[in-house]
């Protein structure tokens, strides 16, 4: 599933404000819109993946990510993960 927020006055996906501030500012807008895209379950039998190999999990994740990026033309590809986001938030807080 993909969720897309059209940006009006506040980008509700802005991660540098913090969750509480972002939620309060988002609720101050008269309307917030979102668009959802739901996909079928992806079973890539042609990839011959095994559940035991961690590298195979990364191949599967990359294929799913490619499908999601094709469905959302305004999205950009990033190799950053959750840990990278947390490190980025820490750097921003240290600068403030």
Q: Give the whole-angstrom CA distance, residue 33 versus residue 6.
A: 6
Question: Looking at the predicted structure, is the pLDDT value of residue 15 above 70?
Answer: no
45 shares a domain with 32:
no
pLDDT of residue 16: 66
Both 34 and 44 in one domain: the answer is: no
User: What spatial distance separates the first Cα and last Cα of the chain, rounded to whole Å?
Assistant: 34
| pLDDT at residue 54, as a whole number | 74
Q: How far apart are CA 8 and CA 4, in angstroms?
A: 13
Task: Classify strands 2-4 and 35-37 as parallel, antiparallel or unpaired.
Answer: antiparallel
Residue with tokens 């499908």: 67
- Domain of residue 3 covers 1-38
Tokens 């980025």 correspond to 88
Distance of alpha carbon 22 from alpha carbon 81, whole angstroms: 20
Give the number of domains in the chain.
2
Write down the pLDDT at residue 35. 83
Tell whether the model's pLDDT for residue 11 goes beyond 80: no
Q: Are residues 92 and 66 in the same domain?
A: yes
Same domain, 48 and 16: no
Q: Are residues 22 and 66 in the same domain?
A: no
What rounded mean pLDDT belongs to the chain? 79
Same domain flag for 27 and 72: no
């Amino acid at each position: 599933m993909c969720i897309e927020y059209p940006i009006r006055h506040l980008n509700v996906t802005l991660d540098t404000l913090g969750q509480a501030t972002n939620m309060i500012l988002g609720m101050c807008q008269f309307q917030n819109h979102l668009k959802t895209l739901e996909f079928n379950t992806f079973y890539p039998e042609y990839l011959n993946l095994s559940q035991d190999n961690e590298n195979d999990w990364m191949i599967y994740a990359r294929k799913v990510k490619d499908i999601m990026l094709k469905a959302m033309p305004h999205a950009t590809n990033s190799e950053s993960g959750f840990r990278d986001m947390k490190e980025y938030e820490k750097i921003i807080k240290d600068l403030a």
